[in-house]
Structure formats: structure tokens, C-alpha cells
Amino acid sequence: MAFLPQAFLSNINTKDGLAKPSRFQVILPIPTYIGSFISQSIFEQILNLPNGIIADITSFLGDNTNQQSVSANPSISRYLSLQCESAALPGKALLTSDVKIYGPTYKVPYQTQYTDMNLTFLCSSEFYERKIMDRWIEAIHPTDTNNLRYAKDTKTRFLTNIKIIQYDDFIRQIYAIELLDAYPIAISDQPLAWAEDGFHRLTVQFAYQKFRTIYNGNYDLVDFALTVFGSKAQRWIDKTTGKLISPVGEIFANKFPK
């Protein structure tokens, strides 16, 4: 069949256009143990925003969430979500073994393999992002005692479930991945140079056990309100909770002054 540009465009338009990689959000819940570890640090006053003001973004997925998927500090999770510049929808592969019983060999799968996830954050002038990740890794393996914490202990559980959400142009969740039992394993170098006048970026590598796919989508009402009303939205009604919340930008402007 000959290629027809009109047929191609019609096919795309009937599906509301193409998905864009820029329409995404990363939700990084802070584990309770890590949250308490951060709260004991020197930058508690910097990051401990009033959790009642900002709606917990882990509840906007329209999906049942367990305790590990809920952040111990929604304010920090929201902040990291805004600062996350790049991520990826992870792939997976089946590991196979060649088998020959009779005739040609064929492959038999025996395990699913998952790749680590790299998240890149824009760094603020106070380096909040680097401080959080440094403390997280320090909480997992304290360098003063070298006593490794148990991943699933009730008191020292440092695992979290990270959600990576793909939106369409109407801020509707069309696809999402949840990384189960995730935690940071590496912080990339941050180069310094007199000739460089750009911005610092922080890339953190996360390991996880596996991921699950979330298919059912819904609208992110907070992002929708900010997109439609912008700076004119002084107050916005959260239709899911019935509470009035202030625009996120206004909150962070007060809590993170320049």
C-alpha cells in the first residue's frame, strides 16, 4: 500500500496527536526513616515546609497506594518533583537460555532483567537536592560506623516506590511506571570549571527490585489549575479534598527566598 501523508496525519489526529517526552512528572516519596534522618540534619528548617498546605501528590494517581508509596514529607517530594529535569520510562528484558531437545535450539526465558534508573535534578542555589541525596545514602550506610542498615527493617526501611508519569497535552495521565523498592546507589560527579557559566545538575542512580505499570489515567487537577490560571490563581479549590490550597509557586517563593 502506498504511503499517504493525509492518512498518516488523520491517523495521528484521531488519537489526539503524539505523546511528548516533555510531559512527565516524577514522584519520589521520602521513606519515613529517611524523613526522620533528614529532619535531624542541619537543613531541617530549609526543607520542612508545612505539609498541610501542599496536597500530597502521591494521592493524585487514582491508584491504590501502600504505605511505601506515601511520602513521609510531601513538601520535599513536591519540591523534588518540580526540580526533576529528566528521567526515563524504564525498559525490561527477558533473560533466556538456549535449549536443545530435538532439532533446532530455541530460547527459554528464566528471569526478567530491569535496568537502573537515572534521575537528573536542577540544583538550587542552596544545593538542597545534593544535600537530600547525600543524607539518604548516608542513612543507608553511615560512614562513621559502617553499619549497613537493613532495607526492610521496620525502623530503618530506606526503600521507596518511585512513580514516573507520562501526561498528554491535557494533563491527563496516560501511562505510569512505579519502581518498587527503589533507593539511591550512586551520585554522579558535578564538574566545576571557571569557564562554565551554566547551572548545576545532579544525576542520581536508583536501583529497584522491579516495576509495575499503571494503565488507568486521570487528570492532575493541581497542574491543570496552574496551567489554566497561572499567576492569577491566588486560591484554588482542591476538588478531591474540598480544601483551599495556595499556588505551589507562591509557597516555594516564600519558603525558598532568593
Residues 180/161, Cβ–Cβ less than 8 Å: yes
Q: In which region does residue 128 sit, left (phi positive, over 0), alpha (psi from -120 to 50) or beta (all else)?
A: alpha
Q: How far apart are CA 121 and CA 30, in angstroms?
A: 16
Q: How far apart are CA 146 and CA 150, in angstroms?
A: 12
Q: How far apart are CA 107 and CA 95, in angstroms?
A: 9
* Pairing of β 92-99 and β 106-114: antiparallel
User: What is the chain's alpha carbon radius of gyration, rounded to the nearest angstrom?
Assistant: 21
Nearest to residue 164, comparing CAs of 177, 174, 155, 152? 177
Q: What pairs with residue 114 in β-bridges?
A: 92
What cell does 9 get? 496525519
What is the rounded (10 degree) CA torsion for 180, 183, 185, 189? 110
pLDDT in tens, the chain (258 residues): 667 888 878 888 877 888 899 999 999 999 888 887 775 554 455 455 444 434 454 554 445 556 666 666 777 888 899 999 999 999 999 999 999 998 899 999 999 999 999 999 999 998 999 999 999 999 999 888 888 887 777 778 899 999 999 998 888 899 999 999 999 999 999 999 999 999 999 999 999 999 999 987 666 555 555 544 554 444 544 444 444 444 444 443 444 444
